[in-house]
A and B are shown apart, each in its own frame.
Chain A
């Protein structure tokens, strides 16, 4: 791997970790600013129950901007989510103009209200597990997400969340 390629790989890893931080902090605009205008987002899972691949949430960048922009109007569960990602692999295309990556993901939820805030607040549990399967476009020093698939193992999602993962 050339020095330039190694730098690009590190840049990609850094971008992935930035998305975790931005999303943890509900900084949706900062998250989406890391994505190209052609960006597509999807949360998917395979269901052994119905033996089908499913898409729980998805849309282009414009749609994600729209729904995250309206979150303040919704009655959301304010229990913070923390994304623990470990980038397992980054693969650069031969022409160095695109890349893919696989990130192992665990999302923890620390209850604010829970069932009864008196009892539950401060309790942390695993909200979901899965992977980020990301794709990137590379233009010189500029690297942006073009696609993010959140591939879930978890299908029991209880109250769920309004927030993109």
Chain B
């Protein structure tokens, strides 16, 4: 058989259950809404890095599953997270991406979060400290203690990343949530403070899981001339893909031969602490976070799903806070020559997932997406994606291969 007709095209692949997924999970509006409720609103999500809020009264804003979030550093230097929503009439309290509340605003006094709409004010612990014309309007029916901000669970963990959960009842710490997936890089990122030096964003017409898949599987290194020429040796093909409880995946390391790409050089001199020269680790955290350490520069991808076929990816680059200006410049070059918006690899990955997004747009015909490569759980094995989708099925309650059917634990299938 060569090319196939419609019936043949839609026939079940000659693979085992779990070795393919139905593309409907990348395109269906109803499934997307379920994902926001059942996954994104339940998990720990890293939202930024502590170096983005260095001083008391600094803040960053973001969203999780459409909910506006603000992270602030209090006078006690503790980081707290709140819904960025005024309890009065639901206005967004702070519109800027970052800044400081140390100075006053046109509607408010210093050291408070002030809703510009009616000038209600809140301190860095989320307590309402001023309701304008309170007695005149509310008499004794409502007071400041009734209208504090909604505080969200937050933790600083893994090299200073700030993790937030919309789930008040989450019963795990971030460490427990990570289930060991972050351990391979923990000594390198926790040895000394890190600092963000790079930020840019992409909004791409594809499902967030397609970007996560691309980070999980390295079979697509055929896409990258840089990776083929600096990798693709016995050591590369022996890299292990390891799944961790919770759908997380860790891709093992090897020594990258940067000199093989004309104009590039070894990164040995600026390796992160405890990291052998030119090593490259990748950690993919469920449901859509990626940490990627190429010797001298740490990259993080934080995804914000915007629709079944739209995702925002925020790319950060991090180095050591103690970097000299000269070392920082080199580190930035190392990061951006591959991963920057004008780098050698990142735009290739984004072009590829855009192509997937186009064929799996909402309303498109369902097709089978194969995750069936078995190579002893090494670099081109697709066990990372299989591991992810097993967890995905568990949370959403749908079979990834047959999303109109309920998820069944693999052991029960056997």
Query: Residues of A with Cβ closer than 8 Å to B?
Result: 43, 45, 47-52, 54-59, 62-63, 66-67, 69-70, 73-77, 113, 115-116, 155-165
| Stretch in B34-42, B85-93, B337-345 with 4+ CB within 8 Å of A | B337-345
Contact A159 B263, CB 8 Å, known A73-B225, A165-B342: no
Q: Which residues of A contact B197 (CB under 8 A)?
A: 50, 52, 54
Contact A56 B336, CB 8 Å, known A156-B201, A158-B204, A160-B342: yes
Q: Which residues of A contact B342 (CB under 8 A)?
A: 43, 56-57, 160-165
CB distance from B111 to the nearest CB of A (A): 19
Contact A48 B205, CB 8 Å, known A75-B348, A76-B347, A116-B358: no
CB distance from B236 to the nearest CB of A (A): 18
The yes or no answer to B333 lying at the interface (CB within 8 A) is yes
Q: Which residues of B contact A155 (CB under 8 A)?
A: 199-201
Q: Are B199 and A160 closer than 8 Å at their CB atoms?
A: no
Beyond the given pairs A55-B333, A56-B336, 15 more chain A to chain B contacts, judged by CB atoms under 8 angstroms and listed by A's residue number, are: A45-B200, A49-B98, A50-B198, A54-B197, A56-B200, A63-B263, A66-B263, A70-B261, A76-B347, A156-B201, A158-B203, A161-B342, A161-B347, A162-B342, A163-B342
The yes or no answer to B22 lying at the interface (CB within 8 A) is no
Q: Which residues of A contact B205 (CB under 8 A)?
A: 115
Q: Which residue of chain B lies nearest to A52 when distances are taken between CB atoms in the complex?
A: B197
Q: Are B262 and A70 closer than 8 Å at their CB atoms?
A: yes
Contact A160 B52, CB 8 Å, known A56-B342, A57-B340, A76-B347: no
Q: Are B357 and A157 closer than 8 Å at their CB atoms?
A: no
Q: Which residue of chain A lies nearest to B60 when distances are taken between CB atoms in the complex?
A: A49
Q: Are A55 and B336 closer than 8 Å at their CB atoms?
A: yes
- In the complex the two chains form, what is the Cα distance from A70 to B350 in whole Å? 19
Interface size on B, residues (CB 8 A): 44
Q: Are B336 and A159 closer than 8 Å at their CB atoms?
A: no
Q: Which residue of chain B lies nearest to A156 when distances are taken between CB atoms in the complex?
A: B201
Q: Are A50 and B204 closer than 8 Å at their CB atoms?
A: no
Contact A51 B336, CB 8 Å, known A63-B263, A75-B351, A156-B201: no
Looking at chain B's contact residues, the main secondary structure is mixed
The yes or no answer to B202 lying at the interface (CB within 8 A) is yes
The yes or no answer to B223 lying at the interface (CB within 8 A) is yes
Looking at chain A's contact residues, the main secondary structure is loop
Query: Residues of B with Cβ closer than 8 Å to A?
Result: 51-52, 60, 96-98, 196-205, 223-226, 261-263, 316, 329, 332-333, 336-337, 340-344, 346-348, 350-352, 354, 357-358, 361
- B351 interface neighbour in A54, A69, A159, Cβ under 8 Å: A159
Q: Which residues of B contact A47 (CB under 8 A)?
A: 199-200
Contact A157 B200, CB 8 Å, known A70-B225, A70-B262: yes
CB distance from A115 to the nearest CB of B (A): 5
Q: Are A159 and B354 closer than 8 Å at their CB atoms?
A: yes
Q: Which residue of chain A lies nearest to B312 when distances are taken between CB atoms in the complex?
A: A156
- A160 interface neighbour in B98, B347, B352, Cβ under 8 Å: B347
Can you list 29 A-B pairs with a CB-CB distance of less than 8 A? A47-B200, A48-B96, A49-B60, A49-B199, A50-B197, A51-B52, A54-B199, A54-B332, A56-B336, A56-B342, A57-B337, A57-B340, A57-B342, A59-B333, A66-B262, A66-B263, A70-B261, A74-B225, A74-B348, A75-B351, A77-B347, A155-B200, A156-B202, A159-B347, A160-B343, A160-B347, A160-B350, A162-B342, A163-B342
- A50 interface neighbour in B98, B226, B263, B361, Cβ under 8 Å: B98
Contact A160 B198, CB 8 Å, known A57-B340, A70-B225: no
Q: Are A75 and B223 closer than 8 Å at their CB atoms?
A: yes
Q: Which residues of A contact B51 (CB under 8 A)?
A: 50
Q: Are A160 and B341 closer than 8 Å at their CB atoms?
A: yes
- In the complex the two chains form, what is the Cα distance from A146 to B314 in whole Å? 33
- In the complex the two chains form, what is the Cα distance from A70 to B342 in whole Å? 14
- In the complex the two chains form, what is the Cα distance from A70 to B343 in whole Å? 12
- In the complex the two chains form, what is the Cα distance from A156 to B199 in whole Å? 10
Q: Which residues of A contact B202 (CB under 8 A)?
A: 156-160
